[in-house]
Every structure is written in C-alpha cells, then in structure tokens.
Amino acid sequence: EAQVTQNPRYLITVTGKKLTVTCSQNMNHEYMSWYRQDPGLGLRQIYYSMNVEVTDKGDVPEGYKVSRKEKRNFPLILESPSPNQTSLYFCASSLARGKGTDTQYFGPGTRLTVL
Amino acid sequence: AQKVTQAQTEISVVEKEDVTLDCVYETRDTTYYLFWYKQPPSGELVFLIRRNSFDEQNEISGRYSWNFQKSTSSFNFTITASQVVDSAVYFCALSGSGTYKYIFGTGTRLKVLA
C-alpha cells in the first residue's frame, strides 16, 4: 500500500530535550515536506526537500532541522524544543516533475506537546 | 509573495443544503497550481483536486464541484446536497511554477447538521 508514515504519532516532551520525528514514504517520491498545523493558522511549511541531499526552508523553519540522506526518509529534528513548537505536524511527499506541480500525499500526523 | 485566503472560518448547514467554500489566492506566477484538501475529524489530510492555471474549466466529481476564475483569483468549492460525512475542515492550497513551496489557507470548518 502506498503511504507516508510518521512516528511517533503522539509525543509529550519537555523543553530542551532533543527529539526526532521520522517520516518515510514508499512511493519513490522525490519531493518531501514538513508542515505544522496550528488553530487558525492552517498548515505552514517548515522545510522541504527536492531530492536526496537537497533541502530548503519553508515559511517557518526556525527551531527545526531536517536531513535527506535517503530518498524514502525525511526526519524532522527539534534540537531544543520549546513550548511554542507544540503543534500537529504533517509530513508529505510527491513526485517532483516540475516545481509546484504535483499533488502531495500526507502522513497521519504527529501531535507534539512541549511542556 | 503568494497568499491564500479562506475568509470563511466556519460554516454550518443543514443536511441536503448546498454549500460553497471560498478560496482567493495571490501569486505573481503565470503558471501555478491550486489544490483542495479535506481534513475529517479523524485528522488525516485527503487530496480532493488539483487545478493548473491554464485550465479554467469547472470540474464536477459527484456532489463536489469546483469553480476556477482567474479574473477574480478564486477557486471555490461547492458541495451539493451536503451530508453529515462532509463535516470536515477544508484547505485550499497554492503552489507556483517558480517555487517548490506550497501555501495553504487557514481552512474552513464545515459542519453539516442532520
């Protein structure tokens, strides 16, 4: 089954404790992206990757890191989480036949609470 | 800069009513792509439609239809004969041909009452 998986689905942590949210896709998609969803703000793009070893900032990258060492994986790293990073996070993937062209398929979401 | 505006924060309708969700966008790209996604109460994001800027034909899929008007920079979504299962948050999104970024609107929460 074609899918995007995220782990963990729920996470409660404390300020300053480094964490990683994993994202994996089995569709051989070149493009992967991370979003955060906050009430009243919709989805905002954090980082995206056009292919292996190619990443770029979205609209809200502060406090986050990413890496793309393999095509199928795109982990989101919070080196020192803060309460304002409490949010619902989505990973997405798509083909990258051209900029902005392709439909993104989303993972199930990770609900993160930083105390 | 690109922007997507969904001015309707929440809409409530009674089952079987028709409802239109508005989406207004801004972009300087001549080629761009518009999307609608549905987020039901279970939380996942479900793709509904993609439209490119060169295709202004309206599209109908069952009870769903989309009206794309470049002249007013709008890409509105209509649900005909709404059902309780249509209750969800609906997001409009935009991506331009000059970028790999996607811009989402703030979403419209639709409540369909039995």
The answer to whether the CB of A74 falls within 8 A of the CB of A49 is yes
A39 touches chain B (CB under 8 A): no
Closest-CA residue of chain A to B35: A103
CA pair distance A90, A43, nearest whole angstrom: 9
pLDDT for B22:
98
Tell me how crowded residue B48 is: count the other CB atoms within 10 A of its CB. Answer: 16
Peptide bond into A8 cis (omega under 30): yes
- For the ranges A17-21, B58-62, B71-75, which has the lowest average pLDDT? B58-62
Quickly state the pLDDT bin for A8 (edges 50, 70, 90): very high
Work out how many CB contacts closer than 8 A connect A with B.
67
Closest-CA residue of chain A to B33: A101
pLDDT for A100:
63
- Which residues of chain B does A38 touch, with a Cβ-Cβ cutoff of 8 Å? none
DSSP assignment letter at B71: G
pLDDT, one tens digit per residue, over A16-57 is 999 999 999 999 999 999 999 999 999 999 999 999 999 999
Closest Cβ–Cβ partner in B33, B47, B52 for A105: B47
Average pLDDT score over residue span B27-36? 91
pLDDT for B1:
81
The answer to whether the CB of A49 falls within 8 A of the CB of A32 is yes
Average pLDDT score over residue span B3-8? 97
The answer to whether the CB of B22 falls within 8 A of the CB of B36 is no
**What are phi and psi for residue B70, nearest 5 degrees?**
-65, -30
Contact between B43 and A88 using a beta-carbon 8 Å cutoff: yes
pLDDT, one tens digit per residue, over A78-102 is 999 999 999 999 999 998 766 666 7
The whole-angstrom distance between A99's CA and the closest CA on chain B is 5
SS3 breakdown of chain A: % helix, strand, coil, rounded to 5?
5, 50, 45
CA pair distance B46, B23, nearest whole angstrom: 17
Contact between B101 and A98 using a beta-carbon 8 Å cutoff: no
Average pLDDT score over residue span B24-29? 94
Confidence check: pLDDT of B15 > 80: yes
Closest CA to A96 of A36, A43, A55: A55
